Structure 1
Amino acid sequence: MGKSKFSLFIITGALAGAAVSMLDKSTRSHVLDTSNRMTKQIGFYSRNPEELKLKLQNTKDKYVSIYEQFSGDAAYIKTQVQELKTLTPQVKELVSETKEAFVESKEEYKDLVKDPLVKNEPKKL
């Protein structure tokens, strides 16, 4: 069996695409500017490795701080959800009792409004 040429064709296609894209002047200038900036940064950090170490440390500290903040917020939300789960049955019972109290008081008000001496029956048309 022959050797697969798939990867060879992929690489050839990528190189051909890169070469064709370089025909555009704005693409060429963008690639050139980016390459120059990267070269300068590599040169700077190769001469000043402590700067690179400090920059990486600051970036790490920032992400650790974000992670700790997120973890604290997640723990707080979890606590609040647990508290809500325990309060829900109590609130449900309170609402049920309040409803029963209103129903009972409604009946009491009806009894108070009814006067045995005065007939408050609606007139029939």
Structure 2
Amino acid sequence: MGQSKLLISVVAGAVVGAALSMLDRTTREKTIATTQKMKEAISYYAANRDELQVLVEEKVLAAKVLCESVSENVNTIAEKVDEFKELPSTIQEMINDTKSAFSLPHKE
């Protein structure tokens, strides 16, 4: 019971909020223009389903390429992090080598 009241209240609040926002002329005009563009796009793609399919396939391919690129970038960053983790031990070895080179007894 509590969930159905919550859902009804949320929907009612959204409807009231949308109605109040329509009192503003700029918002109303922009909403009408956007709705008209959406209506035209839906009508166009309803008549030209092949173009819609091609468009969707292009977007899916672009998303796949983006995912692969992000994956490669994450792997590269992970490799660099591993290299940086090894860096302190390398620096310590260099310091020890330098100390030993300067602390060797000099023969004259």
In the superposition, the TM-score normalised over structure 1's length comes to: 0.66
Question: How far 1:85 moved relative to its partner?
Answer: 4.9
Q: For residues 21 and 77 of structure 2, what CA distance do their matches in structure 1 show?
A: 51
Q: Which residue of 1 aligns with 2:76?
A: 76
Q: Which residue of 2 aligns with 1:38?
A: 38
Q: Over the residues paired in the alignment, what is the CA RMSD in angstroms?
A: 2.9
| 1:23 alignment partner, SS class | coil
Q: Which residue of 1 aligns with 2:97?
A: 97
Question: How far 1:53 moved relative to its partner?
Answer: 1.0
Q: For residues 67 and 26 of structure 1, what CA distance do their matches in structure 2 show?
A: 39
Change in CA separation of 1:95 and 1:24 when aligned onto 2, cut-off 3 Å? same
Identify which of structures 1 and 2 has the higher relative contact order when contacts are C-alpha pairs closer than 8 Å and 6+ apart: 2
Unaligned runs of 5+ in 2: none
Q: For residues 26 and 10 of structure 1, what CA distance do their matches in structure 2 show?
A: 25
Change in CA separation of 1:72 and 1:10 when aligned onto 2, cut-off 3 Å? closer
Question: How far 1:22 moved relative to its partner?
Answer: 1.3
Q: For residues 14 and 74 of structure 2, what CA distance do their matches in structure 1 show?
A: 45
More helix per residue: 1 or 2? 2
Task: Point out the structure with max Rg over C-alpha.
Answer: 1
Q: For residues 63 and 34 of structure 1, what CA distance do their matches in structure 2 show?
A: 26
Unaligned runs of 5+ in 1: 113-125
Q: For residues 12 and 73 of structure 1, what CA distance do their matches in structure 2 show?
A: 45
Aligned length: 106
Q: Which residue of 2 aligns with 1:117?
A: none
Question: How far 1:82 moved relative to its partner?
Answer: 4.1
Q: Which residue of 1 aligns with 2:24?
A: 24
Matched-pair identity in %: 31
In the superposition, the TM-score normalised over structure 2's length comes to: 0.74
